[in-house]
Amino acid sequence: MNKDILLSNSLSNKKEKFVPLDNKNIKMYVCGPTVYDDPHIGNARPLVIFDILFKVLRCKYGNKNVTYVRNITDIDDKIIEASKIKKISIKELTENITKRFHQDCQYLNCDKPTFEPRATDNIILMINMIENLINKGFAYESNKHVYFEVSKFKDYGKLSNKKIEDLIVGSRVEESENKKNQEDFVLWKPSTDDEPGWESPWGKGRPGWHLECSVMSKKYLGSKFDIHGGGRDLIFPHHENEIAQSRCANDTKIFSNYWVHNGFITLSNEKMSKSVGNILKIKDFKNKYNGQVLRLALISAHYKQSLDWNDNLLNECSKILNKWYSSYVHIEKPRLISDDDLSPLYDDLNTPKYIANLHKLFEISQSGNLNDKEKFVSACNFIGLLSQDKSEWIKFKEKRSDIDVNYIQGKIDQRNKARDNKNYDLADEIRDELLQKGVQIEDKDGKTSWKFK
């Protein structure tokens, strides 16, 4: 059965059938990291979500017919500030963070995008686009700054589905005496002697963040393309500004046909943010959890919904994968995945439903039939799970705990003493305490053994 792909389009606020501009050339752009600090769990969600969309598109249209561009923002005010705080050069900072970002992508088992351009490699193209916008009357120079004049673009606010005045209130719009109007946004800003900068018709300076994505997407995907993705927090002002400057510079009625945005990650139902101080870095989980555990957790809720991040979620995902690995078989050539098998993913990347189907396939695979096992493992592999050999999974579990072995044995001795004294409540408390730390104990033939769950 040939099924259509459905996607929730933020531009129309509806779930729509995906109709590509060209069946032989599917084009997707996703906003990548600003490399000023180590990636956090909030950054990890779009990495995994759009990695799965990339897989679905390639399965549907062919590996060679899908182009996925994800940029690296390596010039930005946040980068300049971070380099000063860390007292290292911008080059050293951005190279270190980019390297760690790539390590995190590998840890999460994400495929590499087709292209990964860096902003600093495309400055000339950015200057060219700014000159184009000025010549067409959409931008103006003011005191060595260049701004896009929002009032000149009648469709501004359509992505956010709000009026300009509503967007401005409580948003990250920069106030400046250089602007004609408060809503105008910067395309180019001057650099001081101790800041990175490039020569331009408006003096030494650097590009605005929004412009960078417009230029890099055009370079690799053209003036219009199929899908633009990112976190929901990017809708305004970043994506709204991308649309305005791109459509005006390129003389097009569309920039991207489909806008796909993932929901936030919360901690105790509170949005992660630096201001609150509840940021969790991806690197903080590497010694405790296999990357597959985080990957499963990140797709356990529908991408449009908020996802509350907690130890219970991670422990549950760890248990699921541990169970699934009991049906693991090595596959030389993955079983072909049919449209029917992928129907939940075709329906707006419904990963929770796909995971529910995996549970059913696992139960079938427990019969011991090799074909059933291969089908189950292939279906897991498609979304980046059971991607390691079973021995690697077990090896990581055995080394991953940061709990001292002597501590574990001491707790077991305490529990045994409590049981000898018939203090079963205390014995249960100790057992539960170890279980929460990932240690499972088992009583057999008068002896107590333990293992990492």
Q: What is the mean pLDDT of the chain?
A: 92
Q: Which tens digit of pLDDT belongs to each residue from 213-247?
A: 999 999 999 999 999 999 999 999 999 999 999 99
Q: Which tens digit of pLDDT belongs to each residue from 271-324?
A: 776 666 678 999 989 888 999 999 999 999 999 999 999 999 999 999 999 999
pLDDT at 173: 67
Is the predicted pLDDT of residue 335 greater than 80, yes or no?
no
Chain-centroid distance of CA 153 in Å reads 31
pLDDT at 453: 56
DSSP string of 8-67, one letter each residue: EETTTTEEEE---S-TT-EEEEE---BTTS--BHHHHHHHHHHHHHHHHHHHHH-GGGEE
Confidence of residue 162 (pLDDT cuts 50, 70, 90): confident
pLDDT at 407: 81
Rounded percentage of the chain residues whose pLDDT exceeds 90? 75
Is the predicted pLDDT of residue 12 greater than 60, yes or no?
yes
What is the distance between the alpha carbons of residues 254 and 312, in angstroms, rounded to a whole number? 43
pLDDT at 54: 98
pLDDT at 397: 73
Confidence of residue 97 (pLDDT cuts 50, 70, 90): very high
Is the predicted pLDDT of residue 120 greater than 90, yes or no?
yes
Q: Which tens digit of pLDDT belongs to each residue from 417-444?
A: 988 898 888 888 888 788 767 677 888 7
Q: Which tens digit of pLDDT belongs to each residue from 370-405?
A: 999 999 999 999 999 999 999 999 888 766 555 667
Is the predicted pLDDT of residue 36 greater than 90, yes or no?
yes
What b/e sequence results for 420-434 when a residue is b if at least 16 CB atoms lie within 10 Å of its CB, and e otherwise? eeeeeeebeebbeeb
List the beta strands (DSSP E) in 214-290: 225-231, 256-262, 265-267, 270-271
| pTM for the model | 0.87
Q: Could you tell me the CA-to-CA distances from 429 to 418, 422, 433, 439 in Å, in that order?
A: 10, 13, 6, 13
What is the distance between the alpha carbons of residues 249 and 252, in angstroms, rounded to a whole number? 8
pLDDT at 422: 87
Q: Which tens digit of pLDDT belongs to each residue from 337-377?
A: 777 889 999 999 999 999 999 999 999 999 989 999 999 99
Average pLDDT of 22-26? 98
Average pLDDT of 161-188? 81
Average pLDDT of 97-110? 98
What is the distance between the alpha carbons of residues 256 and 246, in angstroms, rounded to a whole number? 10
Average pLDDT of 42-59? 97
Q: Which amino acid is at 318?
A: S
pLDDT at 218: 98
